[in-house]
Every structure is written in C-alpha cells, then in structure tokens.
Structure 1
Amino acid sequence: MHIRDLPYLDPGDPDVRSGPRFLYWLGRNQIRGQLKSLLWGLLHQCSIAGYPLGVGLAVQAVIDRSGGRLALAGGLTALLGVLTSVSDTMLHRSAVTNWITAAARVQQLLSRKTAELGSALTRRVAAGEVVAVSTGDVEKIGWFVESLSRFLAAATVLVVISVGLLLYLPSLGILVAIAMPFLALSVLPLLPRATRRADVQREKAGKATELASDTVAGLRVLRGIGGEDLFLDRYRRASQEVRKAAVHNARMWSLISAVQVLLPGVLLLVLVVYGASLARDGKVEVGQLVTVYSAATLTLFPLRHFEEIAMAYSFSRPSAQRAVRVLSLSRTARAATADTVPTGDLYDPVTGLLAPQGLFTAVVCGDPDEAGRLAERLGGHAQPEEREEAGEESAASGPPSVLLGGVPLDELDLDAARTAVLVQDKDPVLLSGTLRELLDVPSSGRVTARAALSAAQCDDVLAALAQASPGSDVEPLDTRITERGRSLSGGQRQRLALARSLITDPDALVLDEPTSAVDSHTEARVAAGVKALRTDRTTVAFSSSPLLLDLADRVALVHGGSVVAAGTHRELLLSEKRYRDVVTRDTGEEPAAAAGRDEEIGTSEEIEERA
C-alpha cells in the first residue's frame, strides 16, 4: 500500500475483541509494508554494526604497517557508508508509510462507524473521548505500527552482534552475550508504573478536551449569561491537571531513558578495563579490542529501539482499547436481513405510537427527554438505557424494533433504513461550506432545493446570505456558511436544516421540535409548507405548539412511556386534560393560587358587607 493510493477502498473488518488484538490486526493487514521496513532496517543496522570491523582492521593494519589491509579497511568503511545512507533513507520512507497507512485505516474505520451511528455515537461515548480517539489516539497507534519493524530489525542485529563477537573473540564476546538480554529487558519492571501514569495523563487530557469542546459549542450562550469566565476557569484548572500529570509521566520515562544509558555505560566500562588487561598481557590484539569496544558501543543504538517499542506499546495499547470501544458499537444488536425499503405505517410497539402512511402526525410529550428518545427509536436507534429496561432476558437484543410497513427497522440494511426513515433532532448541525453544498445530500430527486427552501420559509435567510456575500452578482446558494452556521441565528439554522431534511425526501420524516427557534408567524407558515410539500408522505413532528398541532392530520399524546390519547388537536383539547395542560402550559398551580386569592378576598357579598 502506497500513500498515493489512500484512502482504502475498504478499510476492512477490525478485530475489536481487545486493544492488543486490534493492534495485531492492524499489523497483519500491513504485512508487506512491515516486511519491507524490516528488510531495510536489517540492512541499515547491519551496515552500522559492520563499522567496528572496518575500524578494527584499520587500526591493526596501521600497527602492522600493512598498506594493503589499510586500503581494504578503507574500502569496507566506504561501502558500509553507502549502504547505511541508502538503507536509512528507505527505512525512514517505509516506516513513515506504515505509520500513515495505519493511521489512515483507523481514521476510515472511525469515520465509517461515526456515519453508521450518527448522533447516537455521542450518547454512548463522551464527545471528548471521540475527539481524543480520532486525533491523539490515532497518532499513538500509528507510532506503534511504525516502530514495530524497526524494533524487530534492532533485536535481530543485537543477536547478530552478540553471536559475532562470541565467535570473533570469545574472551570478551561472552561478556557481551551475557549482558545483552539483561540490558534489553532492564526497563520491563518500570513499564507498568509508566503505563499507569500515561493512562492518568490521557484520561485528564480527554476530560479537558471534552470541556473545551463544550465551552466552544456553548460560547454564545455563555456570553449571554456571563458565564464564560466560569467555564474558562474550569478549563484552566483542567489544563493544569493535565500539565501536572504530563510532568509526572515524563519523570518516569526519563528514568527509563536514564537506565537505558547507565547500564550500557557500565558494560562499556567493564569491557575497557577487562579488555585493556587482556591486551596488556598479550592475550588479545589492539585491533581486536577496538573492534569489540566499537561493536559494544554501537549496540547502544539498537538498544534505544527497545525503549521506543516499550513506550510506543504503553501509549498505543490504551489508545487501541479506546478505539475498540468506539468501533465495537453497533447500530443495533440484530443482524440486517433485508435490503429493500418497505412502505407503510410507522409503528413503535414500545409506546404504541402509530404514524399512518401519508399523514402528518404530531406527537406531544410532556417530557422533552422522552420525546428525544422516542424520536431516536423511530429512526432505528435504541438507546442503551432502553436495552437495560428491556430486562435481562432480552437485554442482548434490546426492546422491540420500530416497524415500517410491518418490517422491523433493525432488520434493514443501514442504507435502506436511512432511505426509509430520517430523524432530524432538535439541535441539527450545519457543516461549513456553501449553501449549495449543504443542500447537496442523497435524495429521491423529487424535491428541489428551491421547493425545500420555500417550504421551510428560508427567503429571509437567502436574502441575508446575499447581503453578506462579497459580490452583488453572487448567487445566494453559492455563499459560504461559517462553521456550524455560527453567523446565522438559531431560527435561520433550524430552517436551513429543515430544508436539508425536506430535500432528502424519505418515506418517513421524523422532526424533533422543528420550529422551536422561530416566531409564531413563521412557525405557522413553516408547518403549512412542510405539510404541503410532504403530501402523501409520512411525517412525524414532536412539538407542543398549538399552531403546528392544529395543522396535523393526527395528534398523539405520549405520557409515561406510552400513547394515552390520539385524535385531532381540537378533539384532544376538549377531551384530554393532560393534553390540554401540556399544550396550554398549565402547570396546575394557577387554579390553586386563584382559589387562595378568592378565599383571601371573599365573595362579593362579604366585600359589600365590609364596605
């Protein structure tokens, strides 16, 4: 796999049973790249390991005054220099390729999972954790994949050097051969504590990231209530905790680095003292001593890869575990068995809500959270708490699925389910770009952008965008929208999002509070436009606005998790007190208060008597 071939046509089906298994799966899918990096790494390390032989031959040739052997030593050193340069370049190239392709694969897997889960993702995983996985964790996972082949090359070269010195000069080689395993594994006792400190740092960093994202998202509201200083102070304290954890973590890794320098230094000191005594006694030649000392010195370089792989794995293992926690989420516990889009009534067996095909159905819930959960269910997303409420026996499969035309949405393929039912929540997101790009969404093709914008009453939005454009001849659809539509008002963003949903033209459209951010006059026009545009299409709107409810073909009241009444808006106002209380915002306190005032004032006869 080359970088120019990215992205992958199919990133694959990852092993999400655990973090280490996921890392193994990544490495197995890059076996060719890993082998290429390993071969270049072996050539690079062996070229470096060959320098002591050339230096030793040169020193001994000078001592023996042999010009021929000195020229041979020079030629060998020059050849090793060329091989080192070429292999180092290609090793870096192949290792970075492995890093980028692994990171790209993880990014594609996360993007695919995000697209699959939609808004349900952040309800199951904290937003800060999602950001941390898609940025810092991806980098750490790629680091481990990239360093793995270089570590294997370094370990192989250490074995080659130890065996070579043992054969070249047994009296000193045996000392190196015995010390190498100890030097390579000396950092293992320190790794568990270093890993724990790294986990604490990542946890605090994730919380700080989540706090920062929440602060930025609600900055306009915070400024309105004067709470930005409070949240900034919270983030300042969180960032200081991250700094302290990072310093605490760095101290342990600095200790590991010190051990990796100290112990090889002790080995070199022993080699010099013992080797000098052997050379003084004439048991070894000076050139042989220089060769052994140079080879032992060069082992410091491959030994550093043991520290690097230990650090990379310690950082990547929890990162991989967090990635697995996201990638293991599924839209539903049931396997898809149908890929065709059904038609018919939309029915929720849990609450008993029925949205007849082709009608505009309004749903009134006294609890906004209950309305949001029901809207998600209608889109085929059962929440974790709903699965827990389903009981131990059915917790694995969750509550009964919503039916469309008698077909459970959980049994539909994801694309078919999204074609069948579209849910727009109460806080829709507008992506940056032009308005034309915003409205360029998968659709049936039966609803044009102009028709959708007109039904959503976006004429004033188009006029505002035209005035904000730099040129007078710029088409409003070609004007740019800032990130999340921050340059627009809440009502304008809500209507543009509604227009985007109308263009999609699904068989069943579920709208959660679609007019909560607009005034009453605009609300009435929006409701009428949506009903006219969605003629003969199933539409469900969660709202308690009388203007919208009066235009609905059918209204259902949900109370206590089930539908308790259904009919038209005017019928329910006359016959259902709970419905009347929600729609008229009657809390039940005013009659009691009025009665208290009447008792305090008295009847008209008592007033006249007192007068």
Structure 2
Amino acid sequence: MQISDLPYPDPGVPDARSGPRFLLWLGRGQLGGQLKSLCWGMLHFGGVAGLPYAVGLGVDAVVDREPNRLLLVGGLLVLIGVAISVGDAMLHRTAVTNWITAAARVQQLLARKTAELGSALTRRVAAGEVVAVSTGDVEKIGWFVEAVSRFLAAVFAIVLVCVGLVFYAPELGVVVAVGVPVIAVAALPLLPRATRRADVQREKAGRATELASDTVAGLRVLRGIGGEELFLGRYREASQEVRKAAVRSARMWALISAIQVVLPGLLLITVVWYGASLALDGRIAVGELVAAFSAVATLLYPLRHFEEIAMAYSFSRPSAQRAARVLSLTRTDPAERSVRAEPAVEPAAGGDLYDPRTGLLAPAGRFTAVVCGDPDLAGRLAERLGGHPMDEQGGDRDGDDAAGGEATDAPSVLLGGVALDDLELDTARRLVLVQDKDPVLLSGTLRELFDVPASGAVDSAAALAAAQCADVLDALLQSAPDGVDDPMDARITERGRSLSGGQRQRLALARSLVTDPEVLVLDEPTSAVDSHTEARIADGIAALRAGRTTVVLASSPLLLDRADRVVLVDGGTVAAVGTHRELLHREPRYRAVVTRETDEEQRLAGLGMTELEEVLTEIEESA
C-alpha cells in the first residue's frame, strides 16, 4: 500500500476486543509494508554492524603494511556506506508509509463507526474522547506500527554484531555477548511504573480535552449566565494536573533513558580496559581491539530502539484500547446480534411505522404529529424511530424504559412489519431519515449541501420553497463574492455560522425534504422561526410530503393543526390519539403541553358558569 492509494477501498473489520488485539490486527493488515521496512532496516543496520569489522580490517592492513588489502577494505567501506545511506533513506520512507497508512486505516474505521452510530455515538462516548481518539491517539497507534519493523531490524543488527564479534575476537566477544542482553532488559522492571504514569497523564489529558470541548460547545450559554470564569478556573486546574502528571511521567522516562546511556558506557569502558590488557599481552591484535571498541560504540544506536519500542507500546496501548472501545460500539445489542442470521428482507413500500415500546403508530402516507411533555424523550424517540436504540442513559433494551420504569425487552421500531435493526444499515438509512433539533450544516456551496442521496422526486427548488428559504437565498447571495449570480453557488460557512438559527434550521429542513425518504422524522423542525413562517412551512411540508409517511415531533399548534393525526406520548407510552382540535377539547394533558396552561387554568376551564361565579366570589371576598 502506497500513500497515494489512500484512502483504503475497505479498511476491514477490526478486532476490537482489546487494545493489544487491535494493534495486532493493524500489524497483520500491513504485513507487506512491514516486510519492506524490515528488509531496508536490515540493510541499514547490517551496514552499521559491518562497519566496525571493516575498520578493524583496515587497521590490521595498516599495521601489516599491506596496501592492496587496505585498498580492498576501502572499497568495502564504500559499499557499507552506500548500504547504510540507501537503507536509512528507504527505511525512513517505508516506516513513515506504515505510520501514515495505519493512522489512515484507524481514521477510516472511526469515520465509518461515527456514520454508523450517528448522534448516538456522543451519548455513549464523551465528545472530547472521540476527538482525542481521532487525533492524538491515531498518531500514537501509527507510531507503534511503524516502530515494530525498525526495532526488529535493530535486533538483527545487535545479534549480528555480537555473533560476529564472538568469531572475530572471542575473548572480547563473550564479554559483549553477555553485556548487551543485560543492557537490553535492564529497563524492563521500570516499564510498568512508567506505563502507569503515562496512563495517568493521558487520562488527565483526556479529561482536560473533554472539559475544553464541552466548554467551547456551550460557550454561548456560559457567556449568557456569566459562567466563563468558573469553567476557565476548572480548566486551569485540569491543565495543571496534566502538567504535574506529565512531569512525573517524564522523570521515569528520563531514568530509563539514563540507564540506556550509562550501562552501554560502562560496557564500553570494560571492553576498552579488558581489550587493552589483552593487546598488551599480545593475545589480540590491535585491529581486533579497534573492531571491538567500534562494535560496542555502534551498538548504542540500535539499543536506543529498545527504549523507543517500549515507549511506543506504552503510549499506543491505551490509545488502541480507547479506539477499540469506540469501534466495538454497535447499533444493536450483542446478544441480539449473536442470534440474528442474515439481514431482514427490505419491507414493501407503503408500510406503517410502529414502535412497540411506546405504542406509537404512524400510518403509511399520512402526516403524523407526536407531542411529548418531556423534550428529552422527544429527542430519544426521534432517534428510536430512525432505528437507533436508545442508550442506557436515555433508556434502552437493557436499561430503564423511556418512562423511567422497569426494563423492557421491546423490539426495535417496525416498518411494514420488519424491524429496522434487522435491516442493513444503508437500507435503514435510505428508508427512514431522522432530522434532529440541532442539525449540522457543513461548509461548502449550497449546491454541495443538497448533493445528498435522494430519490430524485423532489428537486432543491421545491424543497427550498416548502421550507420558506427565500430570504436565506437572498442573504447568501448578498454575502457571496462578485461574479456569483446563482445562490446555489454561494458558500456556507462551517456549521452555517454566518446564518441565523432559523435560517440554518430551514436549510436543514430543505435538505431533508430533498432526500424524499419513505419515512421522514422531524424533531422540532420550526422551533427557531416565527409563527407566520412556521405556518407556511407546515403547509409546505404537508403539500410536498403528500402520500409519504411523515412524523413530526413538536408542540406548536400551527404544526399540529396541519397534521392528519396527532399522538400524545405521556409517561413513555401513547396516551391519546386524534386530531389537534379533538385533543384540545377532550385531553387535559395534551392541552397543558400545547397551550402551556397551568393546573389552576385547567381547573377553571373545566368549571361550569355557576361554579365559576362561586370561584370569582371567593376571590373577591378574599381580596
């Protein structure tokens, strides 16, 4: 795999059972790249390992006054130099390629999982942690993947030097062969403590990132209530904890680095002292002493890779664990997934949408409005209607139900009698589209915004007209640079920040209308617009979606009055069904949500004339 071939056509199915298993899966997926890097690394480190022996041969040639042999040694040194240079360049190239491709694979997997889970992801995992996994953690995982081949090449060089020295200068070779393994494993007892300290540092850094992310997301609200200084103080405390943890972690890694410098230095002193005594006794030649000294000095370079691989694994293991935790999340329960066979057959067109948990029924081809007294329940119900099981915080199959009562085992929402969770994800997304109350607009032109999978039955002009976006088009055209005459070519800033909340909401609604799904679920689609615009939007939705199943979760009388059918959900189940006007007259709970009546106002509204006169008399007498 070359960098130019990215992204992967299919990043594969990861082994997300644990962090080490995920790292092993990544390594297996890049065997070709790892072998290339290992081969170039062996060439590079092999040249490094052969350099001391060539130097020793050259010294012997000088001592023995053999110019021809010295010339041959010079040619050998040139070859070794070329091997070191070429091997180093290609090792760096292939190692970086392994790093980038591994990071790209992880990012693709995270992006695919984000698209699969949708808004349910940030309710199962903190938004700050998702950001940390997709940025810093991805780099650390890639670091370990690319460090493996360089470490193996360094091990090859160390073995080559030790074995060669044993044959070249046996007395000194034995000393080196015994000392090098001791140096290599000397830092192992310190690694668990260093790893724990690094884990604490990353945990505190993750909390600080989550706090910063949440603070930025709610900055407008914090300014409104004067809470900026409070949260700034909290972030300062969190950042200081991160700093202290980083210093403690750095001290341990500094100690490990010191060991990797001191012990090889002691070995070098030992070899020089012992080798000098052997040379003075005539037991070894001067060239052998020089070769042994150069070999030990050369070993300092590959030995550093032992420290690097330890650090890389220490930092990448918790990162891989977090990535595996995100990648292991699913739309359905593992127990259901284990007993489920093939995906269900796509339901026939024109089926009703039914939620067994709440008892909500949205007849095919009808405009159904749903009223919930709890806004949070409305949002969770909208996601459930789109095939997303409600999480444990909001009530799911394994947790409390939407009403806060006993756990239930209700199946997923049914479309035409087929459970949405049993369908392929792409099929479920195509059949049912959910627009939440805070839709996101990505940067780009308006034409790109409407370039979404759609049936083709509804064009952008009709959707914009139904969503009452005429003033939005004018605003985009006015802010567009010179030469842009078509509002569809006007650019929208990131998240539509240059537009008002109502304008963003209407553009998102128009985008949803363009897709023309079989079932469209809208959660408070007009909460940010005025009543006159809201009334026209309600008429536009009813007209454009005629004959298609539409579910709107709202409490606005203007929207409810246009619906064919209104359902009141109270306490997590359907409490009443009828038209808007029918429910206003006969259902006090519905009237309380829609008209915002107090308990006293409802009691007075139910009194007859005689009873009302008595209440008024009591009020006058008490006054």
Q: TM-score range by the shorter chain?
A: over 0.9
Candidates 545, 548, 556, aligned match of 1:537? 548
Deviations 1:238-270 (A, max 9, x none): 333222222222111111111111111111111
User: How far off its partner does 1:211 sit?
Assistant: 2.3
Residue identity over aligned pairs, in percent, reads: 71
After the TM superposition, which residues 367-516 of structure 1 pair with which residues of structure 2 at under 5 Å, given as runs?
367-385=374-392, 386-389=396-399, 399-471=410-482, 473-516=484-527
SS in 2 for 1:330: coil
Give the partner amino acid of 2:377. E
Structure 1 CA distance for aligned equivalents of residues 237 and 290 of structure 2? 56
Instruction: Output the TM-score relative to the length of structure 1.
Output: 0.94
Structure 2 CA distance for aligned equivalents of residues 440 and 235 of structure 1? 40
Judge conservation of contact 2:399–2:407 (CA < 8 Å) in 1. Answer: no
After the TM superposition, which residues 78-477 of structure 1 pair with which residues of structure 2 at under 5 Å, given as runs?
78-333=78-333, 334=337, 335=340, 337-338=343-344, 340-343=346-349, 344-385=351-392, 386-389=396-399, 399-471=410-482, 473-477=484-488
User: How far off its partner does 1:420 sit?
Assistant: 0.9
Judge conservation of contact 1:197–1:249 (CA < 8 Å) in 2. Answer: yes
* Unmatched 5+ stretches in structure 1: none
Judge conservation of contact 2:347–2:415 (CA < 8 Å) in 1. Answer: no
| Alpha-carbon spacing, 1:447–1:86, altered in 2? closer, same or farther (3 Å) | same
SS in 2 for 1:74: helix
* Unmatched 5+ stretches in structure 2: 608-612
User: How far off its partner does 1:396 sit?
Assistant: 13
Give the partner amino acid of 1:338. A
Deviations 1:40-64 (A, max 9, x none): 1111101011111121122222222
After the TM superposition, which residues 49-60 of structure 1 pair with which residues of structure 2 at under 5 Å, given as runs?
49-60=49-60
Judge conservation of contact 1:380–1:409 (CA < 8 Å) in 2. Answer: yes
SS in 2 for 1:388: coil
Judge conservation of contact 1:341–1:419 (CA < 8 Å) in 2. Answer: no
Deviations 1:522-574 (A, max 9, x none): 11111111111100111111111111111111111111110011001111111
Which residue in the other structure is 1:5 paired with? 5
Structure 2 CA distance for aligned equivalents of residues 604 and 171 of structure 1? 112
SS in 2 for 1:384: coil
| 1:566 and 2:573 are equivalent in the alignment | no
Judge conservation of contact 2:584–2:590 (CA < 8 Å) in 1. Answer: yes
| Alpha-carbon spacing, 1:75–1:246, altered in 2? closer, same or farther (3 Å) | same
Give the partner amino acid of 2:346. T
Judge conservation of contact 1:340–1:412 (CA < 8 Å) in 2. Answer: yes
Give the partner amino acid of 2:121. L
User: How far off its partner does 1:517 sit?
Assistant: 1.0
SS in 2 for 1:354: strand
Structure 2 CA distance for aligned equivalents of residues 234 and 88 of structure 1? 47
| Alpha-carbon spacing, 1:349–1:256, altered in 2? closer, same or farther (3 Å) | same
Deviations 1:253-288 (A, max 9, x none): 111111111111111111111111111211111111
User: How far off its partner does 1:174 sit?
Assistant: 0.8
Structure 2 CA distance for aligned equivalents of residues 117 and 464 of structure 1? 34
Give the partner amino acid of 1:171. E
Structure 1 CA distance for aligned equivalents of residues 325 and 412 of structure 2? 24
Which residue in the other structure is 1:25 paired with? 25
Give the partner amino acid of 1:345. D
Structure 1 CA distance for aligned equivalents of residues 384 and 222 of structure 2? 32
Structure 2 CA distance for aligned equivalents of residues 474 and 232 of structure 1? 45
How many residue pairs get matched? 603
Give the partner amino acid of 2:162. S
Deviations 1:340-381 (A, max 9, x none): 354311000000000011111111111111111111110111
Judge conservation of contact 1:466–1:472 (CA < 8 Å) in 2. Answer: no
Deviations 1:292-327 (A, max 9, x none): 111011111111011111110111111111111111
Structure 2 CA distance for aligned equivalents of residues 467 and 482 of structure 1? 14
User: How far off its partner does 1:462 sit?
Assistant: 0.8
Which residue in the other structure is 2:559 paired with? 548
User: How far off its partner does 1:232 sit?
Assistant: 3.3
Structure 2 CA distance for aligned equivalents of residues 280 and 487 of structure 1? 84
Judge conservation of contact 2:366–2:549 (CA < 8 Å) in 1. Answer: yes
| Alpha-carbon spacing, 1:63–1:517, altered in 2? closer, same or farther (3 Å) | same
SS in 1 for 2:522: strand
Structure 2 CA distance for aligned equivalents of residues 103 and 272 of structure 1? 45
User: How far off its partner does 1:137 sit?
Assistant: 0.8
Which residue in the other structure is 2:610 paired with? none
SS in 1 for 2:532: helix
Structure 2 CA distance for aligned equivalents of residues 494 and 420 of structure 1? 22
User: How far off its partner does 1:398 sit?
Assistant: 5.8
Judge conservation of contact 2:466–2:541 (CA < 8 Å) in 1. Answer: yes
Judge conservation of contact 1:339–1:413 (CA < 8 Å) in 2. Answer: no
SS in 2 for 1:329: coil
Judge conservation of contact 1:183–1:260 (CA < 8 Å) in 2. Answer: yes
Judge conservation of contact 2:49–2:158 (CA < 8 Å) in 1. Answer: no
Give the partner amino acid of 1:113. K
Deviations 1:78-111 (A, max 9, x none): 1111111111111111111111111111111111
Judge conservation of contact 2:520–2:550 (CA < 8 Å) in 1. Answer: yes
Structure 1 CA distance for aligned equivalents of residues 178 and 495 of structure 2? 63
SS in 1 for 2:287: helix
Structure 2 CA distance for aligned equivalents of residues 98 and 487 of structure 1? 41
| 51-60 or 586-595: bigger deviation | 586-595
User: How far off its partner does 1:198 sit?
Assistant: 1.4
| 579-588 or 548-557: bigger deviation | 579-588
After the TM superposition, which residues 598-609 of structure 1 pair with which residues of structure 2 at under 5 Å, given as runs?
603=618, 606=621
Structure 2 CA distance for aligned equivalents of residues 69 and 554 of structure 1? 100
Judge conservation of contact 2:7–2:104 (CA < 8 Å) in 1. Answer: yes
Structure 2 CA distance for aligned equivalents of residues 373 and 138 of structure 1? 31
User: How far off its partner does 1:477 sit?
Assistant: 1.3
Which residue in the other structure is 2:539 paired with? 528
Give the partner amino acid of 1:118. G
Structure 2 CA distance for aligned equivalents of residues 435 and 76 of structure 1? 66
Judge conservation of contact 1:346–1:354 (CA < 8 Å) in 2. Answer: yes
Instruction: Output the TM-score relative to the length of structure 2.
Output: 0.93
| Alpha-carbon spacing, 1:433–1:85, altered in 2? closer, same or farther (3 Å) | same
Judge conservation of contact 2:120–2:391 (CA < 8 Å) in 1. Answer: no
Judge conservation of contact 2:347–2:418 (CA < 8 Å) in 1. Answer: no
Which residue in the other structure is 1:575 paired with? 586
Which residue in the other structure is 1:61 paired with? 61
Structure 2 CA distance for aligned equivalents of residues 188 and 398 of structure 1? 50
| 66-75 or 356-365: bigger deviation | 66-75
Give the partner amino acid of 1:286. V
User: How far off its partner does 1:590 sit?
Assistant: 5.8
Give the partner amino acid of 1:349. P
Give the partner amino acid of 1:550. D
Q: CA RMSD in A?
A: 2.3
